[in-house]
Structure 1
């Protein structure tokens, strides 16, 4: 009887682990960036001379919208 209890416990623990690994229940919800934060972001031109410009000037001049996401890790 003890072997069955151990087996059922192991299967139950495995199912709970699979469920929690695939759900974002414990993760914090992401915050949305405000427009003032986005327009003050410095963009770096890659290649050639690496000049910096504010994102606000980019979409004022050409209407371009740029989104770059950096994932931690």
Structure 2
């Protein structure tokens, strides 16, 4: 008879309390991790799509543009400075290939 009561004594509300707290702690931990992951994802998307952390572009000076080497497109390739084209026609059109 003592065996039956010992089983009942083991599952009293006071002995169940640590199990309930462990479940609540686990749920709270999972919620915190999930919330942190969502926050990191939002921050990553924000930083990837904005120029918040990039440096500002530097404006090219007229001297730098005058000394730029231009190449013709076509069968025979010629190279000349941009200032010669500016002196002849008054306009310079440049196509710039970005590195990378």
State whether TM-score is above 0.5. yes
Of 11, 35, 38, 2:62 maps to 35
Question: Any idea what the Cα deviations from partners look like across 1:27-69, whole Å, max 9, x if unmatched?
Answer: 1211111101101111111212211111111011112221222
RCO comparison, higher one (Cα < 8 Å, 6+): 1
1:24 partnered with 2:51: yes
Which blocks of at least 5 consecutive residues in structure 2 are unaligned? 1-27
Of 60, 74, 78, 1:51 maps to 78
SS at match of 1:5: helix
Greater share of helix: 2
Distance 1:28 1:19 in 2: 16
In the comparison of the two structures, how many residue pairs are matched? 73
Which is greater in Rg? 2
Instruction: Give runs of ≥4 in structure 1 deviating > 3 Å.
Output: none
RMSD over aligned Cα, in angstroms?
A: 1.2
